[in-house]
Amino acid sequence: MRIRQPDSSVKLSLDTAIPSHYLNQVSILFPYIAEAELMYPFFGIQYDETDVQQVLAREGVFLGRLFSGGLDHEADATLKSYLADNASIRGYEALFVRSSDGLGVYSSHVEEDPVQDQRLYENTVFRAVQVCEICLLEHRLLRSFKLRVDLDAKKVRVLPRPLLVERRRSELLALEMAMVKALPFRTPEARPLIRKAQQNFNIPQSLQDAKDTYDFLETRYQNTKTAALAIIAFVTYALDKMKVWDWLGAIIRTQINLLIHAQKHLG
């Protein structure tokens, strides 16, 4: 007997548009990542069985179709292959995540007390959801950073802006360390779980794309700065040949002498 098993068509019936009231709430807290993309569906299914691996072997086609949505009408072997990349080390959980959706399959009777068993299931599901949330935030932050830097590259094409480039460099370092490489892991399970999820969400590639975009901004800034210095050097040389500096120096000396003379008379 199994419980909480939805029909595989339920995923196709979900609304992927982000509700406007939700966007309004989120934009108050995170105005820089509130651009709408898609809702992220996550399914948690608990079977009234004790061995989750037996469930995967028996229900592989159904669960694979539930995970993918079945729009491509994949072969049974392909559907089963979607369940080969389990991100969890827990014996009662099989967790499959990617950038578009997630699926958690759980066995029962892990705890002797039914209430505690239900609580364990719920806590495990929401911890899996949090893992997906972290990866979605990382993806969105990296994408937003890349878009901002692309716009900044146009700004430094004519006029070098060193403060802007330095600010973007600091943002990239903070993003890489705080959100990707140096998350505060608290349990032995956390690091391999997050790293596996990040791989499935293509976070390392997104981070590299953000670095490449910043490198382009830095290169363009250096080229613009070099060109600006060359122009300044040429103008300075031309003004020197035209004796402009001598003329300006004479005017400044005359004004200083007049000022000194006026102060003597006032004194």
How far apart CA 133 and CA 147 sit, in angstroms, is 21
Reduced to 3 states (helix: H, G, I; strand: E, B; else coil), residue 100 is coil
Q: Residue 247, class by beta-carbon neighbours within 10 Å (0-12 exposed, 13-18 middle, 19+ buried)? A: exposed
Reduced to 3 states (helix: H, G, I; strand: E, B; else coil), residue 83 is helix
Query: Who wins on pLDDT, 38 or 88?
Result: 88
Per-residue pLDDT at 16 exceeds 70: no
In whole numbers, what is the pLDDT of the chain averaged over residues? 84
DSSP 173-227: HHHIIIIII-----STTHHHHHHHHHHHTTHHHHHHHHHHHHHHHHHHHHHHHHH
Percent of the chain with pLDDT over 90: 48
Query: Who wins on pLDDT, 33 or 44?
Result: 44
Among 5-9, 80-84, 255-259, name the most confident range.
80-84
Kindly report, residue by residue over 18-32, the tens digit of the pLDDT. 566 656 665 665 555
Lowest mean pLDDT among 76-80, 144-148, 256-260: 256-260
How far apart CA 97 and CA 233 sit, in angstroms, is 57
Is residue 55 a contact partner of residue 107, using CB atoms and an 8 Å limit? Answer: yes
Per-residue pLDDT at 9 exceeds 60: no
Beta strands in the chain (DSSP E): 42-46, 93-97, 102-106
CB atoms within 10 A of CB 138: 21
Per-residue pLDDT at 189 exceeds 50: yes
CB atoms within 10 A of CB 66: 25
Per-residue pLDDT at 166 exceeds 50: yes
**Mean pLDDT within 49-61:** 93
DSSP 46-67: E-SSS-HHHHHHHSHHHHHHHH
pLDDT band at 146 (very low <50, low <70, confident <90, very high): very high
